[in-house]
């Protein structure tokens, strides 16, 4: 090097501050407080100059891993401006401390972002999550290597503290615990759940990691509780149905279907699966709806009524066929039955005794008629039955009529004796009966005296022929008697 040489009087104070000039890349040792030996700022014979290592300082700054480009550039500029090694050392120390601060900021950012997806963050209040997100964003503006600003150590530390404070303020875990407690209280009030079912629901709530999981567990428990209530009612309805004719008169396979569904429903009462409970409820409802006992009973009653009507020999006019309804009048509830056939002399004009005989026949055949029932028989044998409640029924009785034959001839007196000229011959007919179904209006009895189809179709003609033959015989007998009397004369 080519140091500059300065001259002066020995003993004079040298103004190094203004006169001393160091070569480029060197510093004046005399200006350093660390100067030792015989050299001093005010007492010396010569100045010693040493070289400053600026490149080494810059290389150290570049090796720092957390500073952004702007922060490194400021530190290197300070190295270039340093006038002595002490300033360079100070610059290197400040850069290292700032690098450590940025490292802490980066860690805070990482920790803050790490809360995302945790109960603490996810279940936290919205404003608290927003505060953390904003703090992280501000910190990232510094740690951005390329675009980050020249923020000093105090700014870096302030941003780090903001992130840590926002992170600590997250209240998601407290919110989740509160939701779990409320859900458990609601489950305790669900009266259709058994102890085991409540415990199962509370376990699901305890294991929930989010408020949504808690809500789902509570809703599942509520659904199960509601479904169990419906199932219990359906079971009660089914048991009640088993006491009715709709079950007792149902087909055996339909009874078994209800019994099986009822058994499955009882087992489903202990299930924790709402869908299983719902299925058991529907199956039981379907089995009950399929019972056909009422239909079977109605069918049997109809068939019985048909059979009764077919065997009934009396034609009855009623206003209704429902005899089981207590609201019906007597005429609608009572079926009149009369057996046998009444013999009369003239079906178009019955005598009082014949009418009385018909009335008695009706009373004998129907001993349970209400007290006070009046029976009035008209001239043709129709019986008007009037009940105490004012309702009435018309009964058309079956009659048979005797056949009258009158023989007339001249009266003859033989030996003071009079022969009887009028003869009465009674011919009995076969009884005729008719029948009518209950509830149908009976047909009027024919006024013609038709004989039954018994093989005696022409019996009336045969009878008349016989009477004529008998008459001829009588005439012949009378002629014979007259001749005998003449011979005696």
3-class SS letters over the chain: CCCCCCCCCCCCCCCHHHHCCCCCCEEEHHHCCCCCCCCCCCCCCCCCEEECCHHHHHHHHHHCCCCCHHHHHHHHHHHHHCCCHHHHHHHHHHHHHHHHHHHHHHHHHHHHHHCCCCHHHHCCCHHHHHHHHHHHHHHHHHHCCCCCCCCCHHHHHHHHHHHHHHHHCCCHHHHHHHHHHHHHHHHHCCCCCCHHHHHHHHHHHHCCCCHHHHHHHHHHHHHHHHHHHHHHHHHHHHHHHCCCHHHHCCCHHHHHHHHHHHHHHHHHCCCCCHHHHHHHHHHHHHHHHCCCHHHHHHHHHHHHHHHHHHHCCCEECCCCCCCCCCCCCHHHHCCCCCCCCEEECCCCCCCHHHHHHHHHHHHHHCCCCCCCCEEEECCCCEEEEECCCCCEEEEECCEEECECCECCCCCCEECCEECCCCCECCECCCCCCCCCCCCCCCCCCCCCCCCCCCCCCCHHHHHHHHHHHHHHHHHHHHHHHHHHHHHHC
Comparing CA positions, the residue from 96, 181, 167 lying closest to residue 132 is 167
Sign of CA dihedral 201, 203, 205, 209: negative
Separation CA 427–CA 38 (nearest Å)? 188
Tokens of 3: 């140091």
Partners of 427 in beta bridges: 403
From residue 108, alpha-carbon distances to 95, 268, 414 in Å are 20, 54, 165
pLDDT at 345: 84
Lookup: tokens for 30: 């005399």
- Biggest CA–CA distance in the chain, Å, is 240
pLDDT at 444: 37
Handedness of CA 249, 252, 257, 258 (dihedral sign): positive
User: What are 89's two structure tokens?
Assistant: 């050392």
Q: Check if the beta carbon of residue 239 is closer than 8 Å to that of residue 262.
A: yes
pLDDT at residue 285, rounded to an integer: 97
Task: Tell me what pLDDT residue 431 has.
Answer: 40
CB neighbour list of residue 438: distance below 8 Å, 6 or more residues apart: 305, 308, 309, 312, 316, 318, 321, 335
**pLDDT value at position 458?**
47
d(CA 419, CA 474): 11
- The pLDDT profile of the chain, 489 residues, written as one tens digit per residue, is 444 444 455 555 545 444 455 555 555 554 444 444 434 444 444 444 445 678 889 999 999 999 999 999 999 999 989 888 888 999 999 999 999 999 999 999 999 999 999 999 999 999 999 999 999 999 999 999 999 999 999 999 999 999 999 999 999 999 999 999 999 999 999 999 999 999 999 999 999 999 999 999 999 999 999 999 999 999 999 999 999 999 999 999 999 999 999 999 999 999 999 999 999 999 999 999 999 999 999 998 888 776 655 555 444 444 444 444 557 788 888 888 776 677 888 888 989 898 898 888 888 888 888 988 999 999 988 989 999 988 998 987 777 776 544 444 444 443 444 444 343 333 333 343 333 333 333 333 333 333 444 444 444 454 455 555 555 555 554 544 454 454 545
In the prediction, which pLDDT does 238 show? 96
Structure tokens at 318: 């009623």
Residues 6 or more apart whose CB falls under 8 angstroms from that of 2 comprise 23
pLDDT of 329 reads 85
Rounded distance between C-alpha atoms, residue 276 and residue 280, angstroms: 6
Tokens of 444: 């009027």
Contact 354/402 with Cβ under 8 angstroms? no
Q: How far is CA 115 from the centre of its chain?
A: 43
Residues in the chain: 489
- How many CB atoms are closer than 10 A to CB 224? 24
Domains and CATH numbers, the chain: 52-170 (no CATH), 174-294 (1.20.5.420), 314-456 (3.10.20.890)
């Amino acid at each position: 090097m080519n140091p500059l040489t300065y001259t002066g009087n020995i003993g004079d104070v040298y103004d190094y501050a203004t006169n001393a000039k160091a070569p480029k890349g060197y510093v004046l040792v005399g200006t350093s407080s660390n100067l030792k030996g015989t050299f001093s700022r005010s007492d010396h014979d010569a100045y010693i100059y040493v070289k400053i290592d600026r490149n080494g300082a810059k290389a150290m700054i570049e090796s720092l891993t957390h500073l952004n480009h702007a922060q490194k550039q400021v530190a290197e500029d300070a190295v270039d401006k340093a006038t002595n090694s002490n300033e360079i050392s100070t610059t290197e120390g400040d850069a290292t401390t700032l690098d450590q601060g940025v490292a802490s900021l980066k860690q805070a950012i990482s920790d803050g972002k790490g809360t995302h997806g945790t109960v603490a963050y996810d279940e936290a209040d919205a404003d608290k999550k927003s505060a953390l997100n904003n703090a992280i964003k501000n910190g990232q503006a510094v740690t951005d290597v390329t675009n980050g600003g020249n923020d000093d150590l105090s700014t870096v530390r302030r941003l780090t503290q903001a992130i840590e404070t926002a992170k600590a303020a997250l209240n998601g875990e407290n919110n989740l615990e509160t939701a779990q407690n409320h859900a458990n209280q609601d489950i305790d009030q669900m009266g259709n759940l058994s102890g085991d079912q409540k415990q199962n629901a509370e376990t699901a709530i305890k294991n929930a990691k989010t408020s949504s999981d808690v809500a789902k567990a509570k809703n599942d428990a509520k659904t199960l509780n509601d479904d169990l209530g419906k199932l219990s009612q359906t079971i009660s309805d089914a048991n009640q149905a088993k006491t009715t004719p709709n079950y007792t008169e149902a087909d055996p396979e339909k009874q078994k279907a209800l019994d099986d569904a009822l058994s499955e429903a009882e087992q489903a009462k202990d299930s924790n699966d709402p869908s299983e409970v719902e299925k058991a409820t529907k199956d039981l409802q379907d089995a009950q709806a399929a019972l056909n006992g009422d239909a079977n009973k109605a069918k049997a009653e109809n068939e019985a009524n048909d059979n009764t009507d077919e065997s009934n020999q009396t034609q009855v006019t009623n206003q209704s066929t429902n005899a089981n309804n207590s609201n019906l009048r007597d005429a609608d509830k009572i079926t009149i039955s009369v057996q046998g056939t009444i013999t009369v002399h003239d079906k178009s004009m019955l005598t009082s005794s014949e009418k009385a005989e018909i009335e008695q026949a009706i009373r004998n055949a129907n001993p349970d008629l209400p007290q006070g029932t009046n029976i009035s028989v008209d001239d043709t044998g129709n019986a008007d039955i009037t009940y105490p409640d004012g309702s009435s029924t018309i009964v058309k009785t079956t009659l048979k009529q005797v056949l009258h034959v009158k023989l007339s001839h001249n009266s003859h007196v033989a030996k003071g004796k009079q022969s009887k000229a009028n003869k009465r011959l009674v011919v009995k007919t076969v009884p005729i009966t008719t029948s009518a179904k209950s509830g149908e209006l009976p047909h009027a009895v024919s006024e013609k005296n038709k004989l039954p189809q018994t093989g005696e179709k022409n019996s009336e003609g045969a009878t008349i022929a016989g009477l004529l033959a008998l008459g001829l015989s009588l005439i012949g007998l009378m002629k014979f008697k007259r001749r005998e009397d003449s011979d005696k004369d």
